């Protein structure tokens, strides 16, 4: 599958990467979640040459979305790739197809996002700090680009005397964060259309603090929600605190050695909330990946999907840090995960295809899954 990446003016776009993203998978989980997982696990794509050319080889037959990404700006498909409803049309490849002249056209021009900041009483707020970043849901919607990669936020800029601001952003939904530290005000607004003026209303920031029970050693506490951060935890009970949080729902994840724990809280404006999080040891999941003849499958990627009962039926994926675990030459694997109801996925070595999926109950200290047969 070869072609060229161009912008809407017909200029070739070099210094990018193109990945073929299969849209059909042998599993009942949401396709959008799988698209997110494949992008998280993938480590390779076809580089785009100086003339904008690329080639993808050895693709399995099926339907694909071609994804272009770079390190500087979000790349979204141009309208030529969409149907009348605005959904991106997949490219269907049959066995033996050899396409050599495909044009992947992307919209690349930045957009000026303009807005105004007010406080809870509706008064204009000058000298507030405004920052914007891509706000793409897991997997992306039909007319948005699915998780191309991480891009640095734009800003911050300060609002003027009229409480107004302007930021140059990509032509895709934005997540706008505004804060006024001196007044203790903060707000986060997602799904902002950069082509439309926006009004951001600030509220009193909240505070979250707590402690950890169980386990030994130092703690790593991560807080994810309208604001995401890693906070320091100190003392034998790993006390932690986070100030300046926007109101909203937060997930708190703790790791202490081989033990993990989690909590879910919802903060209101100006609230000071305390939580206690108990941690328990993770389990080791071991098994072997083989083909239908019983031969070992080396280099496959085993992943555990944990299902959070508080957010069911959403599938939550632990972020992959560094290189993902892979099966050894004998097809064996060993991965760690919290105890509970989960799912085991086996991905191909390129991280782009799910070869097997099965439900799994993880129990500490060790869970044996035996031989996992893949297509």
Domain boundaries, the chain: 2-107, 111-204, 206-281, 283-373
Tell me the fold of 111-204. Immunoglobulin-like (2.60.40)
14: helix, strand or coil = coil
Residue 108: predicted pLDDT? 61
> Where do the DSSP E strands lie in 326-365?
332-337, 340-347, 354-362
The secondary structure of the chain in percent helix, strand, coil, rounded to multiples of 5, reads 5, 50, 45
Residue 11: predicted pLDDT? 83
Q: Does domain 283-373 have CATH number 2.60.110.10?
A: no
Q: Tell whether the model's pLDDT for residue 317 goes beyond 50.
A: no
Residue 309 is classified by DSSP as G
Report residue 144's pLDDT band, with 50, 70 and 90 as the boundaries.
Answer: very low
Q: CA 192, CA 16: separation in Å to the nearest integer?
A: 26
| Tens digits of residue pLDDT in 35-58 | 444 444 443 457 788 888 999 888
Q: Considering the chain, what percentage of its residues have pLDDT values greater than 70?
A: 81
- CATH code: domain 206-281 is 2.60.40.1120
Cis peptide before 156 (omega within 30 of 0): yes
Degrees (nearest 5) of the Cα angle 334, 335, 339?
Answer: 125
CATH topology identical between 2-107 and 111-204: yes
Residue 63: predicted pLDDT? 87
Between residues 243 and 152, the one the model is more confident about: 243
pTM to 2 decimal places = 0.58
Q: What is the DSSP string of 188-230?
A: EEEEE-TTS-EEEE-EEPEEEEEEEESS-S-EEEEEESSS-EE
Q: CA 365, CA 344: separation in Å to the nearest integer?
A: 17
Q: What is the DSSP string of 55-110?
A: E--SPPSEEEEEEEE-SSS--EE-GGGB-TTSPBPPEEE-TT-----EEEEEE---
Of the candidate CATH numbers 3.40.50.970, 2.60.40.1120, 1.20.120.160, 2.60.120.10, the domain formed by 2-107 belongs to 2.60.40.1120
Q: Considering the chain, what percentage of its residues have pLDDT values greater than 90?
A: 39
- Average pLDDT of every residue of the chain: 81
Mean local confidence (pLDDT), 213-232: 89
Residue 197: predicted pLDDT? 96
Lowest mean pLDDT among 108-122, 312-326, 356-370: 312-326
Report residue 3's pLDDT band, with 50, 70 and 90 as the boundaries.
Answer: very high
- Phi, psi dihedral angles at 238 (to 5 degrees): 50, 60
Report residue 60's pLDDT band, with 50, 70 and 90 as the boundaries.
Answer: confident
Candidates 140, 138, 170; CA nearest to 154 is: 170
Q: CA 86, CA 79: separation in Å to the nearest integer?
A: 8
């Amino acid at each position: 599958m070869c072609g060229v990446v161009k912008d809407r003016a017909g200029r070739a776009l070099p210094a990018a990467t193109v990945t073929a993203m299969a849209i059909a998978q042998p599993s009942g989980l949401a396709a959008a979640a799988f698209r997110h997982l494949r992008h998280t696990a993938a480590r390779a794509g076809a580089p785009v040459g100086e003339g904008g050319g690329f080639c993808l080889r050895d693709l399995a037959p099926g339907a694909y979305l071609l994804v272009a990404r770079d390190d500087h700006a979000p790349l979204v498909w141009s309208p030529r790739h969409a149907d009348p409803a605005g959904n991106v049309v997949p490219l269907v490849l049959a066995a033996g197809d050899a396409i050599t002249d495909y044009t992947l056209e992307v919209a690349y021009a930045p957009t000026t996002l303009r807005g105004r900041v007010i406080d809870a009483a509706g008064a204009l707020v000058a000298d507030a700090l405004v920052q914007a970043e891509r706000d793409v849901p897991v997997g992306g919607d039909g007319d948005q680009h699915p998780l191309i990669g991480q891009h640095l936020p734009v800003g911050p800029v300060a609002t003027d005397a009229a409480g107004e601001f302007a930021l140059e952003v990509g032509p895709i939904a934005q997540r706008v964060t505004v804060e006024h530290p001196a007044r203790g005000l903060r707000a986060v607004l997602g799904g902002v259309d950069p082509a439309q003026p926006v009004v951001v209303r600030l509220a009193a920031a909240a505070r979250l603090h707590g402690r950890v029970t169980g386990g030994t050693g130092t703690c790593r506490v991560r807080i994810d929600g309208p604001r995401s951060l890693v906070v320091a935890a100190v003392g034998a009970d790993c006390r932690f605190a986070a100030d300046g949080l926007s109101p909203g729902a937060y997930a708190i994840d703790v790791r202490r050695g081989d033990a993990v724990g989690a909590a879910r809280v919802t903060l209101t404006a100006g609230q000071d909330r305390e939580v206690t999080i108990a941690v328990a040891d993770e389990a080791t999941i071991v098994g072997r990946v083989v083909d239908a003849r019983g031969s070992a499958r080396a280099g496959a990627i085993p992943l555990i999907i944990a299902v959070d009962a508080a957010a069911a039926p959403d599938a939550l994926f632990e972020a992959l840090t560094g290189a993902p675990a892979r099966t050894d030459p004998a097809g064996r694997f060993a991965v760690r995960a919290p105890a509970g109801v989960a799912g085991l996925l086996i991905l191909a070595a390129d991280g782009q295809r799910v070869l097997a999926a099965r439900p799994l109950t993880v129990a500490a200290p060790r869970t044996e899954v035996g031989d996992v047969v893949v297509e």
